Structure 1
Amino acid sequence: MTRLSTYDAIIIGAGPAGSSVALALALRGWAVAIVEKSAFPRRKVCGEYISASNIALLDRLDIGDAWRANAGPEVRRVGFFSSETCVEAPMPGAKYGLAANDGFGRALGRDVLDALLLQAARSAGAEIFQPCRAVAIERDEDMQRVRIQARDENSGDETTTLRAPVIVGAHGSWEPGPLPSQLQKTSHPSDLLGFKAHFTGSSLAPDLMPLLAFSGGYGGMVLADHGRLSISCCIRRDMLARLRRNRSSGWDGPKQDGQVSAAEAVFRHLMASCRGVSDALDGVHLDGPWLAAGPIQPGIRSCYERDIFRVGNAAGESHPIIAEGISMALQSGWLLAEELARAPRGRAGRELAGRRYQAAWRELFSTRVHAAAVLARIALSPAGPALMAAAVRNFPRALTLGAHMSGKTRPIPGLV
């Protein structure tokens, strides 16, 4: 049996980018469908920090109060941990139209944030298809059809076809697939693989978010909701392989094919490479399993191509060294909704919205994407961690300046 439903827009992916554009459109009266392959709540490889410039947007999306009630403490200091170096500096505050107590960002686990956004979209009228995977997008005159398959055992052979003039790819950049909006996945020794874990019992100062620099990678840590420390990092594929081989001799921890697990190798590398990390994680307890994903694919891509819009990492991705992934996801969804709402209906209107959206996206994000690429290149060079440590020891305010340049204080167009 096949079911056909028609909407104004179909959003593929219910992370912060997909849910924000769906919610913004639904609040404007659009008929919206969201297709999400995973059941919620679920954890994701993500730094989980949300800068203060997003708070006005969260309020506009009607989840600001829920975010304030759940997020971790305000992050008032940015830091740098590498080898024996531990340096701190003030985090630049964002005062654009914010309440007196909203001048600093905070962290919220993706298992909580994504569920808040999706529930808000449902309350605004969006129809949710979850867990369902989009398997094909096909032209249907001035519309497009999205074929989806349910991911539960009780669905049988039933297929559902959704039909809409506006299709938005919000599925991220890490997972390849059959959709024209998805990226191809390749494998190179220099690929950066992402790892993430939560811990309880950390001694990290609650208002501090340090950048971690170590041989072959970089990362960050921040206190999120419910007292959980969120630690995430990227590491080169060839460095990870070397660490696993080196740890296999004499190590009695979990092994795969004669090697220690990737997560164990990454964790031990972090602890050995950054005194600040080993101090903060002394005596902690792992809260849930380590997660892995990737490779990350930083860069600026087409925001509108073959009559499909892209938001979040599908549109463009900065190196996570600047901790702006969620900000870019939320804000790209808002930018697209603004342009779609302004444009006339029909293909000419979609093309106009696509051009305007791409211009707005590049105006807001291109500087931070390029700045993150430069910073990541330095961090990943053989002498990079030592050079960065020397720089911040002599000029700690470079951390404050870097946080400002990464976009953490930049207002969102249309909200100030």
Structure 2
Amino acid sequence: MTVYDAVIAGAGPAGSALAIELASEGYSVLLCDAARFPRDKVCGDYVSPRGLARLAALGCGEAIGRLECTPIRKSRLYLNRDHLVSGVLPRVAGLPAHGHAIPRKELDDILFRRAIRAGAVVRESCRVTGFEVTARGVHVSATHEGKACRVEGRLVVGADGATSAVANAAGLRMNDPRYTLASIRAYAHGLTLDHTLMYFDEKYFPGYGWVFPVRPGLCNIGVGMVSEPLVRSGLKLGDFYAKLTRLVHHLAGAKGARVEIGPQRGWPIRSYGGATENHFERGLLIGEAGCFVDPINGEGIPLALSSAHVAARTVRAAFQEGRFGKGFLARYEADFRARFDPDLGISDLAVTMIRNRHLLPVWLAIFRTMSLTAQKDARYAEVTGGILGGVIPAREAITPEMFVRALVHGPGFWREALGAGAPDGVSGWLAGGAALVGFQASLARAIKDDGAWLYGWAKEVQAKQKRLGIAALRGLSFGGP
């Protein structure tokens, strides 16, 4: 039986990217996927400029260019169908000036074929079901075209997504509803846009909807929300999706177009807040199997590619030193924490805070304040838009400069941000006072009826704030490898 240097479960962006790097350097790689290519994967499809740069580094740039996807440089943000703000993706040196929404059926096939050209051995219709560590390596169990089989390797890598069998076998699969998003996606045929659309609705906040232009006449549309507040509030994601589709039809009608929306598909997303060590005896987890998804915008493709790049460094070191134990592979966690924690930790803290729907009026006021500030302040719009677009680090949002820009405004601004258009004068103050009293009464009831959950939430927020503060004080590298 052939013994491979690395057996990689899952040929999505993370698995194929790692296969490309390792096979190009002469390692023997077996890349397995449960489907046959080309195959679809449910996803929002957005690839940021950083993701496109990584794809080019992997040798996929020309193939991506031939897809002729719409260059995405602009975005519009809606709250309750009201247009709040528009922005342009800032230019960052060394990165493309745009992002793309690339259907996973096309993107994954490009990466898969590139892995084959790099020298990886592939097995399609091969679903990895588990593994067993032996004295000399790992026995990986799978079903290949419906028949049970076993392959041997010196390392196993789980790149098999949100329901990872490798993570499950390693005891690292994450099912915490605080860090799991429920999502629905479909394709809208007949709608042409040159910008992305982000749609928020008070009832489903902190969930959001999106419309990403793929190419003329085709858009990826969908909604997502963190599972914990979705379930606790008794909300139905399908109702939110129905609201989004009505907005899509409205936008198309305004352009004189008719839209046909394809079948909807749902899937879970595991975000970075739930990431654990992601290493074990003779193995690693990358991509969504390791929770490498941005908690704020749900973006996973660029992080999948980056996590593979970080993992390749550990794999090389393991083979150079002939050490494959859990202790040695722990350097992978050190590397990915140094690279991702400073920004994704901030994103996770923000999502942790807004999961508390008892404070919904506070979060909506902050949301409106940020949106209105972006309307009036080009620098503020550049930073916040760049964070959402995946080209500016999230830590740029918590500088003193950004706080000053968000807070220094006149009375008219604050009436609009906090009072949602409340009238001037005494009547406006009375309306604002009544709203404040109502919020205080609601919060008092929440403390009485849901105090245990609120206490746990507050401790979680405090712990994450402390952890981020300690990281900053110790002067850890924020650039990463």
Structure 1-normalised TM-score? 0.80
The structure with more strand, counted as a fraction of residues:
1
Whether 1:326 aligns to 2:301 is: yes
Consecutive unaligned residues in structure 1, runs of 5 or more: 153-157, 245-261
Residue in structure 2 matched with residue 137 of structure 1 by the alignment? 131
CA offsets, 1:288-317, max 9 Å, x none?
A: x21101264542221312331111122233
Q: Secondary structure at the match of 1:44?
A: coil
1:213 equivalenced with 2:200 (yes/no)? yes
Secondary structure of 2:169's aligned partner: coil
1:361–1:280 Cα change, 3 Å: farther
- Among 291, 295, 319, which residue is 2:265 paired with? 291
Going by fraction, where is helix more abundant, 1 or 2?
Answer: 2
Matching residue of 2:277: 302
Q: Residues 89-108 of structure 1 correspond to what in structure 2 (within 5 A)?
A: 89-96=87-94, 98=95, 102-108=96-102
Measure the CA separation in 1 of the matches of 2:47 and 2:99.
5
Partners of 1:239 and 1:337 in 2: how far apart? Answer: 37
| Correspondence for 1:368 among 327, 343, 363 | 343
| Residue matched to 1:401 | 383
Larger CA deviation: 377-386 vs 15-24: 377-386
The residue number in structure 1 matching 2:181 is 192
Secondary structure at the aligned position of 1:114 is classed as helix
Aligned to 2:114: 120
CA pair 298-368 structure 1, distance change in 2 beyond 3 A: same
Letter in 2 for 1:359: A
Tell me the distance in 1 between the aligned counterparts of 2:13 and 2:141: 23
**Aligned-residue RMSD, C-alpha:** 3.1
Give aligned-pair identity as a percent. 23
Query: Taking structure 1 as reference, are residues 327 and 345 closer, same or farther at Cα in structure 2, changes over 3 Å only?
Result: same
Q: Is the 8 A contact 1:50 1:105 kept in 2?
A: yes
Asked whether the equivalents of residues 304 and 355 of structure 1 are also in contact (C-alpha less than 8 Å), the reply is yes
CA distance change for structure 1 residues 126 and 303 in 2, over 3 Å: closer, same or farther? same
Aligned to 2:251: 280
Tell whether 2:254 aligns with 1:268.
no
Relative to structure 1, the CA distance from residue 319 to residue 327 in structure 2 (aligned partners, 3 Å threshold; closer, same or farther) is closer
- 1:147 alignment partner in structure 2: 141
Q: State whether structure 2 residue 232 is matched by structure 1 residue 223.
A: no
CA distance in 2, matches of 1:11, 1:193: 26
Against the structure 1 CA distance between its residues 127 and 284, is the aligned structure 2 distance closer, same or farther, given a 3 Å change threshold?
same
Secondary structure of the 2:309 match is: helix
Q: Is the 8 A contact 1:10 1:167 kept in 2?
A: yes
- Maintained 8 Å contact 1:37/1:130: yes
The 3-state SS of whatever aligns with 2:2 is: strand
Runs (4 or more) in structure 1 with deviation over 6 Å come to: 410-414
The alignment's TM-score, normalised by the length of structure 2, stands at: 0.70
1:317 alignment counterpart: 292
Q: 1 or 2 for the larger relative contact order (CA 8 Å, sep ≥6)?
A: 1
Q: Distance in 2 between matches of 1:229 and 1:348?
A: 47
Following TM superposition, by how much is the alpha carbon of 1:367 offset from its aligned partner in structure 2, in angstroms? 2.9
One-letter code aligned to 1:401: V
The letter of the residue matching 2:90 is P
Distance 1:284 1:374, change over 3 A: farther
Q: How does 1:74-85 map to 2 (within 5 A)?
A: 74-83=71-80, 84-85=82-83
Cα offsets for 1:298-350 (capped at 9, x unmatched): 42221312331111122233445325311100111112113322444455266
1:341 counterpart (313, 316, 338)? 316
AA at the equivalent of 2:86: E
Q: Which amino acid aligns with 2:2?
A: S
What's 1:37 paired with? 34
Return the offset for 1:78: 2.9
Q: Does 1:179 find its partner at 2:150?
A: no
Max Rg structure: 2
Residue 110 of structure 1: CA displacement? 0.6
Residue 57 of structure 1, CA deviation: 2.3
Shift of 1:186: 6.3
Give, as a single letter, the amino acid of the residue that structure 1 aligns with 2:251.
Answer: A
Q: Cα distance, 1:9 vs. partner?
A: 0.4
Query: Which of 37, 56, 59 is matched with 2:56 structurally?
Result: 59
Structure-1 separation of matches of 2:173 and 2:136: 25
CA distance in 2, matches of 1:404, 1:159: 47
Distance (Å, rounded) in 1 between the aligned partners of 2:209 and 2:295: 8
Q: Which amino acid aligns with 1:293?
A: W
Which whole-Å CA distance do the structure 1 matches of 2:325 and 2:163 have between them? 27
Looking at structure 1, the residues matched to 367 and 127 of structure 2 have their Cα atoms a distance apart, in angstroms, of 43
Q: Is the 8 A contact 1:167 1:308 kept in 2?
A: yes
Q: How many aligned residue pairs are there?
A: 377
Deviating more after overlay: 395-404 vs 405-414: 405-414
Aligned partner of 1:31: which letter? S
Identify the match of residue 12 of structure 1 among 9, 14, 22: 9
Q: Shift of residue 49 of structure 1?
A: 1.3
Q: Distance in 2 between matches of 1:64 and 1:350?
A: 36
The residue number in structure 1 matching 2:404 is none
Q: Report the AA paired with residue 164 of structure 1.
A: G
Q: Indicate conservation of the 8 Å contact 2:211/2:220, yes or no.
A: yes
Match of 2:69 in 1: 72
CA distance in 2, matches of 1:412, 1:111: 32
Q: Which runs of 5+ in 2 are unaligned?
A: 394-477
